[in-house]
Each structure stands twice: as structure tokens, then as C-alpha cells.
Structure 1
Amino acid sequence: MASNSKGSSAVSATPSPVWTKQQNKQFERALAVYDTDTPDRWHNVARYMGGAKSAEEVRRHYERLVVDVERIEAGRVPFPLGYGATPPAGRGGAPASVDVVERR
């Protein structure tokens, strides 16, 4: 039963790590340098990140971002109030509609 402690540590390593704003910017620059046609893309992106993230971490981060963008483009994710939308006066609730800004 002592071997379970090793198994549980592997499971605890699966949650997505926090990415700082600086790391996200660095990640974006790396994606611009190493496009989809680059051999060993994720290893190169990880190296560009200075060893702060593994190839697997950058690949998973990219996949999560792709899903997020797809959800936003499909209109399934409303923009937060800080992006120009304001609640209707006197109701105190969420706005009836949120303008979606297309970014490309």
C-alpha cells in the first residue's frame, strides 16, 4: 500500500499550472516563431520559454487556448463587464446582451 503515495503524486501533478502574463506573452512570441509546420514544435516552444515550461505543458496550454477561442467565437462565452458592457440601469443584473468583439 505504500506504493499508492507515488501514484497519488502523479495525479496531483495533472492540474494545469499557473501561467504569468509574461509567460503568456513569451508563449505567444514562441508560437509566432514556431508555426504548425515546425518539426518538434512543442519542444522548440518550451526551449524558447527558457525551461519554465515543458513541451507537454506548452502543448496542453495551446490546446486549452484553442478550445477557449472556439467557445468565444461560437458565442458561448460572454465578455466580462470590464470589456465595455454595463448592466442595465436599475436592474442590477447582467446585461441583456453583450457585444462580441471579433479579434483576428
Structure 2
Amino acid sequence: MASSSSPQPSTNWSAEQNKLFENALAIYDKDTPDRWRHIAKIVEGATEEEVKKRYEILLDDIKSIESDKVPLPIYKNEGSSKENIISNEEER
């Protein structure tokens, strides 16, 4: 039942939930006993299984980015010109 694309989260998380998740990951590392239970307590409305799945998706995304399967975004600075954007792309 594996898919060639990244699996999608089972729920749509708010920006606040995502931030809580990120902060909780910084607090509870891979060696923390009951890591997913602790993180689920911090992320309001999330279960242990949901935070674990979200973490697996995050790892898949990182692998895709690092293997150049996902292009890096081009950020446009205020006042930047088309020439600057093209120049930045050429530097890559």
C-alpha cells in the first residue's frame, strides 16, 4: 500500500499545532522514553499516532529535499528585480 509520493497527514493541522509540534520535537529527542505521548500532550487535539505519522512525513520530506527531488523555493525580496532572481538561480 506504499505510494510513490509523500503520504499526506491524516488531519489538517493549524499553524499553531505545527509550531507546537516543531517545538516539542526540539524538547523530546529520539532517546526520550514515551516521546510520542509527550509530544501528543503538547500538540492540542493530536494523538500519539498522528504525531508519529507527522514525524514520518517530515522525514520523507527532508529526504526528498536532500535528494533534489523537490526544488528549493525561490524567495523574492522586496525590491528585487528579475535579473537578481535569474542570477540567484544561475549561482545554484
Do the structures match in fold with TM over 0.5?
Answer: yes
What's the C-alpha RMSD, in Å, of the aligned pairs?
2.5
Give the one of 16, 27, 31 matched to 1:22: 16
Runs of 4+ in 1 over 6 A off after TM superposition: none
Deviations 1:26-82 (A, max 9, x none): 0011111111000111011001113x100000000000010001100111101345x
Number of aligned residue pairs: give it: 76
| Structural mapping, 1:56-95, within 5 Å | 56-81=49-74, 83-84=75-76
Structure 1's unaligned 5+ residue stretches are: 1-14, 90-94
Q: Which residue of 1 aligns with 2:47?
A: 54
Counterpart CA distance in 1 for 2:91 and 2:18 is 26
Counterpart CA distance in 2 for 1:59 and 1:18 is 15
Q: Which residue of 2 aligns with 1:9?
A: none
Structure 2's unaligned 5+ residue stretches are: 1-8, 77-81
Aligned residue for 2:10, secondary structure, equals: coil
Cα distance 1:98–1:62, how it changes in 2: closer, same or farther (>3 A)?
farther
Q: Flag the structure with higher helix content.
A: 2
Counterpart CA distance in 2 for 1:38 and 1:28 is 15
Counterpart CA distance in 1 for 2:69 and 2:39 is 29
The higher radius of gyration belongs to 1
Higher relative contact order (CA 8 A, sep 6+): 2
**Letter of the structure 1 residue corresponding to residue 59 of structure 2:** V
TM-score by length of 1: 0.62
Counterpart CA distance in 2 for 1:67 and 1:22 is 22
TM-score by length of 2: 0.69
Cα distance 1:98–1:25, how it changes in 2: closer, same or farther (>3 A)?
farther
